[in-house]
């Protein structure tokens, strides 16, 4: 299986390629991609050089243009697609219907992948995107179990790519405006979720309380680890219950499911984390490359190799196991 790795910077791209990434995904430094964080992403020259570096080392580059273009501002997204093609990128990752239609019409030779932000969650939808827009690969939303992924692959020729490691969206991706409800900024429109610009920490009689847009997301004691206040992983109360009502502060680690995902017909395994450091990326890539090679050779999976890299030391296999729901 193909390992698809994040690159938030040119240095991360080179680190990922050297560590054995088959494919790297990245974005332009603007609102056209879903990791629009300060200090991240590529300008046009860096993209061209990054693609050349990857190609020279036998790796591919995918350009994520996966926010939803702003009404009145679509030209910015159209230019991003044109510049991705000009940079020599192997494919673009898109979510918006209008942008898919535009790319299919004006850049027919540029391979199109469907972003997880489009949340295409069944075979009919994959086939719809393939027939309407010539989509060759779909990144599946994190709402599906492994048997459901297998069933999808049995009914479609479209390649599937699934997340195996890193941040975990609890909601169907691209269909969540929790962040903009609290902060005004959202993944769909601005390429950010629970943005750091809207986070405040307060010392509350020895406890550290973290607020997002003025809403308290969690409170931890002085000696406890303080996870980043991502909205859906906050601590809230409803009726008599108090706790992580939506999701615990965990991240995804599906390394142990690699053999099952391979059997389910998945083409590519995706690692989240364009905001992560290049050493993190390199370490994760090396481990996953070793794991898929072990799988291909019929050797046992290396055990628990990435535990120390997961957020807050806690990991989940998410929706891949049906009981998560």
What residue has token string 């195996």? 164
Q: Please calculate the CA angle 248-251-254 and round it to the nearest 5 degrees.
A: 125
Shortest Cβ distance from residue 198 to another protein (Å)?
Answer: 8
Quote the least distance from Cβ 179 to another protein, whole Å.
Answer: 9
Selected from 80, 178, 264, 291, the binder of another protein by CB under 8 A is 178
User: Taking CB under 8 A as the criterion, which residues in 280-319 touch another protein?
Assistant: 319
Q: Which stretch binds another protein (CB under 8 A): 26-34, 43-51, 166-174, 278-286?
A: 166-174
Fill in the per-residue mask, 196 to 235: x = in contact with another protein (CB under 8 A), - = not in contact: -------------x---x-xxxxx------------x-xx
Subset of 66-105 contacting another protein (CB under 8 A): 68-74, 95-99, 101-102
Question: Using CB under 8 A, which of the segments 8-16, 182-190, 221-229, 287-295 binds another protein?
Answer: 182-190
Residue 72 exposed, middle or buried by CB count within 10 Å (0-12, 13-18, 19+): exposed
Least distance from C-beta 73 to another protein, angstroms? 8
What is the distance between the alpha carbons of residues 267 and 281, in angstroms, rounded to a whole number? 21
Q: Is residue 163 close enough to count as binding another protein by CB under 8 A?
A: no
Q: 154: exposed, middle or buried (C-beta count within 10 Å: 0-12, 13-18, 19+)?
A: exposed
Assess 22 for contact with another protein (CB under 8 A).
no
Least distance between another protein and beta carbon 121 (Å): 5
CB 277 within 8 A of CB 212: no
* Strand runs labelled E in 183-286: 199-204, 207-212, 215-220, 236-238, 241-243, 251-253, 268-271
Which run of H or of E encompasses 280?
Answer: helix 278-296
30/77 Cα distance (integer angstroms):
10
The DSSP bridge partners found for residue 72 are none
Closest CB to another protein among residues 220, 294: 220
Binding site residues, another protein, CB under 8 A: 68-74, 95-99, 101-102, 119-122, 124-125, 127-128, 141-144, 148, 151, 170-172, 174-178, 180-184, 186, 188-189, 209, 213, 215-219, 232, 234-239, 241-242, 245-247, 319, 322-325
């Amino acid at each position: 299986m193909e390992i698809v790795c994040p690159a938030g910077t040119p240095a991360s791209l080179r680190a990922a390629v050297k560590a054995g990434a088959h494919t790297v995904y990245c974005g332009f430094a603007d609102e056209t991609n879903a990791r629009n964080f300060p200090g991240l992403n590529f300008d046009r020259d860096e993209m061209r050089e990054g693609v050349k570096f990857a190609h020279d080392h036998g790796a591919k580059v995918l350009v994520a243009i996966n926010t939803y273009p702003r009404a009145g501002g679509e030209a910015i997204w159209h230019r991003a697609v044109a510049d991705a093609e000009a940079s020599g990128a192997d494919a673009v990752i898109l979510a918006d219907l209008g942008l898919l239609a535009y790319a299919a019409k004006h850049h027919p030779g540029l391979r199109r992948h469907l972003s997880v932000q489009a949340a295409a969650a069944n075979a009919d939808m994959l086939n719809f995107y393939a027939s309407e827009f010539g989509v060759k690969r779909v990144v599946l939303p994190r709402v599906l179990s492994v048997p459901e992924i297998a069933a999808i692959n049995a009914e479609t020729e479209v390649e599937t790519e699934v997340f195996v490691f890193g941040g975990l969206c609890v909601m169907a991706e691209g269909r969540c405006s929790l962040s903009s409800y609290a902060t005004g900024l959202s993944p769909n429109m601005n390429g950010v979720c629970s943005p750091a610009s809207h986070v405040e920490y307060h010392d509350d009689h020895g406890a550290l309380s973290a607020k997002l847009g003025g809403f308290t997301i969690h409170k931890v004691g002085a000696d406890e680890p303080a996870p980043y206040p991502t909205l859906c992983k906050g601590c809230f109360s409803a009726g008599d219950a108090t706790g992580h009502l939506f999701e615990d502060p965990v991240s995804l680690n599906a390394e142990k499911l690699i053999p099952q995902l391979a059997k389910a017909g998945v083409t590519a395994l995706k690692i989240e984390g364009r905001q992560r450091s290049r050493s993190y990326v390199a370490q994760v890539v090396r481990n996953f490359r070793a794991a898929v090679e072990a799988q291909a050779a019929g050797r046992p999976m290396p055990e628990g190799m990435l535990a120390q890299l997961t957020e807050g030391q806690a990991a989940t296999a998410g929706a891949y196991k049906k009981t998560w729901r």
